[in-house]
Amino acid sequence: MNQPVTDVAVIGAGIIGTCIAERLVSQGKQVVLIDRDGPGNGCSKGNAGHFASDIILPLANFSTLTKVPRMLFDPDGPLTIRWSYLPRLMPWLLRFAWAAMPHNSQQTIAALKRLNRPSIERFSALLTRTGLTELMTKRGALTVYQSHAAAQENRQHAELVRSHGVRVEQLDARHIRELEPTLSRQILGGLYYPDTAHSVDPYRLVTGLAEHFSRHGGQMLINSVRGITLNNDATVKLFLDDRELTAKQVVIACGAYSKPLVETLGYRVPLESERGYHLMLPSPGASLTRPVSSFEKSFVMTPMREGLRLAGTVELAGLEAPPNVRRATNLYQHAQAILPALDNRNASHWMGHRPSLPDSLPVIGRSPRHRAVFFAFGHQHLGLTQAAVTADLISQLIVEKEIPAGINAFRVDRF
């Protein structure tokens, strides 16, 4: 008996894969969404909830590069590398160094603007269409600083991002506390990004989109994809834990776990885990109305339905190393310097694997050698921000059969 063939199989039900699957179903495609843990249970569950349309500067820049030696000797710094993982990480770091060179980073900035500038508008349209508008709050975001040296750096940063079209306001301590009265008197000033937004429940955002996908004809499978082969009739066969599935087209969107599947198709991508941690405070004792980032400590505090989330610390240690819980718990001490009334009773911690490529750009597009295969992974710490735009790009390729402008910057064979 012939096996049924679905139009599109999307592998990975994080925010990227779920947005893509929902978008394709809304355009009349028969779609199966596959994830071993179910919608939103990976990196999308614990992110900072920030729609960071203001981020147009790549992590791979010369300033970050000069700090790498210090990272190796500061296990509690905002970005750290485990010594034991360094030998395996060296090829990635060399590519990172090359991407950080000025002529390369300028190209990356142009590509990031392509993804991030329209992100909030596209996500707003998505949430309106799916009835989930209450999950996005548009009150902008603050970056605050506590030293005069940081004030000077922030002035330079503000000038730089303004030159790329980002709206930013420099505020003194009084105006900062008018926006967020619970902030410490030690805050000297900061930058206000009025055009950004945040989600009050990132996990519910993914599950809500998945539910809408299922209600409108999409099929959700809780299963693992063990392999992919190309059939003679140009369809794709997926080998799952307990079955086989045939699709006319497949989208690989399983974040930090995409690498093995991509390698089976003959592509070697330098994908690493940018391990992120958060500390969730259910009864924080101090309220915020928008995300507030610390310039000195490089973390963000985001108000959510379940409390205050402290997030943003980064660790490069691969997929297999056990979590370093101190990376999460240290955030409480950092946050107390900014929010003195903070309370950590019943706090919980989390770690997730952000998919990170050395040039700070994701892989988005069609496989050059396999016309039925599409890629959408490697969004680093900007998955939430870039998800709706990525879904639009993939749907243009699959449904409208158009090649979106600028998409070559995200091709899989650029490395």
252 beta partners: 11, 375
pLDDT value at position 198?
A: 98
pLDDT in tens, 194-218: 999 999 999 999 999 999 999 999 9
Q: Tokens 């939103």 label which residue?
A: 40
- Sign of the alpha-carbon torsion through 96, 100, 105, 107: negative
pLDDT value at position 249?
A: 97
pLDDT value at position 1?
A: 41
Q: Find, among 245, 242, 343, 217, the residue nearest to 285 by Cα.
A: 343
The structure tokens listed for 188 are: 């000297």
What is the residue extent of each domain of the chain?
1-135+196-271+355-415
Q: Is 394 helix (H, G, I), strand (E, B) or coil?
A: helix
pTM as predicted: 0.96
275 beta partners: 315, 353
Q: Find, among 263, 313, 315, 319, the residue nearest to 293 by Cα.
A: 313
Using CB atoms within 10 A of its CB, is residue 162 exposed (0-12), middle (13-18) or buried (19+)? Answer: exposed
Q: Which helix (H) or strand (E) holds 317?
A: none
Task: Please state, in angstroms and as integers, the Cα–Cα distance from residue 175 to each residue in 35, 59, 63, 192, 335, following that order.
Answer: 46, 29, 29, 10, 20
pLDDT in tens, 27-58: 999 999 999 999 999 999 999 999 999 999 99
CA angle 379, 198, 46 (to 5 degrees): 55
Low-confidence ranges of the chain (pLDDT < 70): 1-3, 68, 71-72
The domain made up of 1-135+196-271+355-415 has a fold known as FAD/NAD(P)-binding domain (3.50.50)
Q: CA dihedral defined by 400, 113, 56, 194, rounded to 10 degrees?
A: -100
Q: How many CA atoms lie within 13 A of 214 on its CB side?
A: 14
CB-based contacts of 169, cutoff 8 Å, min separation 6: 191, 192, 194
